[in-house]
A and B are shown apart, each in its own frame.
Chain A
């Protein structure tokens, strides 16, 4: 083998070894995080966690019931507001305005909203809802989550509707179906699995968001389902518990973090298996 070629081979091997090293390095960190999370989280996963309220500082026991219920309410409301608007907006982009200039503008803006810092959304909702309403409230928190969910749904809806073959639409219109019926009965139905996937991804995205809730829903140490008052929720509760040296709070914070992670991971896995089964890329 000539020395020049040997050197090229060597360079290549070194570079590839570095890539392998990077993979091991990266995956090691991520495994370490998951391992710590499970290790510390399982210790706190008890029945009491799902049946008792958040404890005051320096107390024993207690659970996360009010925070879990609050998070569920905020998520359902946020998705309930954000998803229909997102679905309709995505439908407009894919069906009515597919080739118009405005659609590409909306797509561009939507992509920016999709990755805009979530704390900015919190500031926006603070200015638009909390200040006029005169105080922090569960409603403001839900609206902040709706603003976060909206671009996720818009994006997946448009992508999924664009996958529906045009012939289906043409066949429906040729039978005399009005466009709006065609969209609801044919294209939405054909893209149903994809639309559900988008919804699940939006729920996953929303359920771990902390920053936008910090000064909209705030948090609440007690049981409250009143939407006009501050409302307990898991992420902000975890945030408050971390900032305190109390070991009991720390234990609950880990357990809550594990709960959120498990929820987000399983939502992502379900969404992935749904879309993986139907439309393989």
Chain B
């Protein structure tokens, strides 16, 4: 009996040492891993801060030179003597106008497609069409820009745009907005390319949002004798309104910052003509086409434009996320 106890004790001592060592290494590995994860998480936060700070530093010369006049000046003359005259009104105007036109086209069409997908489409067709739409949302934007430049631009300039210009020639207001001559490079062409590009995006979000409507609600409405349209109009859309608006804002955020789909087709003109068939520019197109060759104040002004774009998209995207989060919470309850 005593022997056994002695033997057990003899075996126990090295085991304890081994255990202690293993535990210590576990502990070390554990805290190292935890620290790494924390650092990585902090990186995400620092990245946003870094982006904002680096843009402000880069834009500072332009901010201190032009101040608020930058927002109201249209002239963009980086080579003017003695000092360059740089105003951001043209690209800011172009960014807002092209995004708004793109949304005016893409949102109704996108909502139409997602209503079709959730209410009308035969079951066997739903998945293929849905998958096709999602895949198209992943196609790089340079492909859309290239297509707009080689195919869509010439097509519009030869056929539809001259017809519209002629049709509204004598109607006041419209003959300014749709003033000719139509060209391959115009605000409208850029907006249309943008619209086609964000269409799959709008559709995918709207479809997901529409799918959150509990079937019971729709069945109840059908049971009361509602037509399909009335179900959509009175049940689906009111129930998902916040989510739809969030999705539209998300699409707006994408349209505002889109570069490659726009740069080739917009014409890069800083002058505001008032006609949507005239050339224009957007913030991102201006940066893409001029930044690599710019210096000093010119470069700083381009970074300032980038900062304005970032602030603008930040608020749009933040609003969009908050709205989509509200819908999710509703779904969770």
Q: Does A142 contact B (CB under 8 A)?
A: no
| B26-45, CB < 8 A from A | 26-27, 29-30, 32-34, 36-41, 43-45
Q: Does A25 contact B (CB under 8 A)?
A: yes
Q: Does B314 contact A (CB under 8 A)?
A: yes
* A210–B109 CB distance below 8 A: no
Q: Does B77 contact A (CB under 8 A)?
A: no
**Stretch of A51-59, A83-91, A220-228 that contacts chain B:** A83-91
* A257–B116 CB distance below 8 A: no
**Besides the known contacts A110-B44, A210-B259, 9 further A-B residue pairs in the complex with CB atoms under 8 A apart:** A8-B230, A26-B110, A109-B45, A178-B26, A178-B27, A178-B29, A208-B143, A210-B142, A269-B135
With a cutoff of 8 Å between Cβ atoms, the chain B residues found around residue A112 in the complex are 48, 314, 317-318, 321
Find B227's partner among A11, A95, A113, A151 (CB 8 Å cutoff): A11
Q: Does B151 contact A (CB under 8 A)?
A: yes
* A120–B115 CB distance below 8 A: no
* B120–A20 CB distance below 8 A: yes
* A33–B38 CB distance below 8 A: no
**Which 3 A-B residue pairs are closest in the complex by CB-CB distance?**
A117-B257, A208-B140, A22-B112
- Cβ proximity bits B102-126 to A, threshold 8 Å, 1 near / 0 not: 0000001111110111011000000
* A118–B259 CB distance below 8 A: yes
Q: With A97-B41, A208-B142, A210-B260 in contact, is A111–B317 under 8 Å at CB?
A: yes
Find A89's partner among B41, B112, B116 (CB 8 Å cutoff): B41
Q: How far is the CB of A165 from chain B (nearest CB, A)?
A: 18
* A117–B309 CB distance below 8 A: yes
Q: Does A192 contact B (CB under 8 A)?
A: no
- Cβ proximity bits A74-109 to B, threshold 8 Å, 1 near / 0 not: 000000000011111101110111000011011011
Once the chains are docked, how many angstroms separate the CA of A32 from the CA of B199? 14
Q: Does A261 contact B (CB under 8 A)?
A: yes
* B147–A260 CB distance below 8 A: no
Q: How far is the CB of B194 from chain A (nearest CB, A)?
A: 12
Q: Does A248 contact B (CB under 8 A)?
A: no
Q: Please classify the interface of chain B as helix (H, G, I), strand (E, B), loop, or mixed, using the class held by over half of its residues.
A: helix
Q: Does B57 contact A (CB under 8 A)?
A: yes
* B139–A261 CB distance below 8 A: yes
Q: With A124-B51, A124-B55 in contact, is A89–B44 under 8 Å at CB?
A: yes
Q: With A91-B37, A106-B41 in contact, is A19–B292 under 8 Å at CB?
A: no
Q: Please classify the interface of chain A as helix (H, G, I), strand (E, B), loop, or mixed, using the class held by over half of its residues.
A: helix
With a cutoff of 8 Å between Cβ atoms, the chain B residues found around residue A264 in the complex are 138-140
Q: Does A166 contact B (CB under 8 A)?
A: no
* B256–A36 CB distance below 8 A: no
With a cutoff of 8 Å between Cβ atoms, the chain B residues found around residue A178 in the complex are 26-27, 29-30
* B250–A115 CB distance below 8 A: yes
Q: Does B203 contact A (CB under 8 A)?
A: yes
Find B200's partner among A30, A253, A261 (CB 8 Å cutoff): A30
With a cutoff of 8 Å between Cβ atoms, the chain B residues found around residue A46 in the complex are none
Once the chains are docked, how many angstroms separate the CA of A16 from the CA of B313? 34
Q: Which of B51, B143, B147, B288 has the largest number of chain A CB atoms within 10 A?
A: B143
* A12–B48 CB distance below 8 A: no
With a cutoff of 8 Å between Cβ atoms, the chain A residues found around residue B217 in the complex are none
Q: Does A9 contact B (CB under 8 A)?
A: yes
A-B contact count (CB 8 A): 255
28 pairs, A vs B, C-beta closer than 8 Å = A11-B227, A15-B232, A16-B229, A18-B112, A20-B120, A25-B109, A27-B113, A27-B129, A30-B196, A33-B144, A36-B147, A89-B41, A89-B43, A92-B37, A96-B37, A113-B48, A117-B256, A117-B257, A117-B310, A124-B50, A150-B47, A180-B33, A181-B29, A208-B143, A210-B142, A260-B142, A264-B139, A268-B135
Q: With A92-B40, A106-B41, A109-B45 in contact, is A116–B317 under 8 Å at CB?
A: yes
| B196-245, CB < 8 A from A | 196, 199-200, 203, 227-230, 232-233
| A152-170, CB < 8 A from B | 154
Q: Does B132 contact A (CB under 8 A)?
A: yes
Once the chains are docked, how many angstroms separate the CA of A242 from the CA of B153? 14
- Cβ proximity bits A120-137 to B, threshold 8 Å, 1 near / 0 not: 110110111000000000
Which residue of chain B lies nearest to A91 when distances are taken between CB atoms in the complex?
A: B37
Q: How far is the CB of B296 from chain A (nearest CB, A)?
A: 13
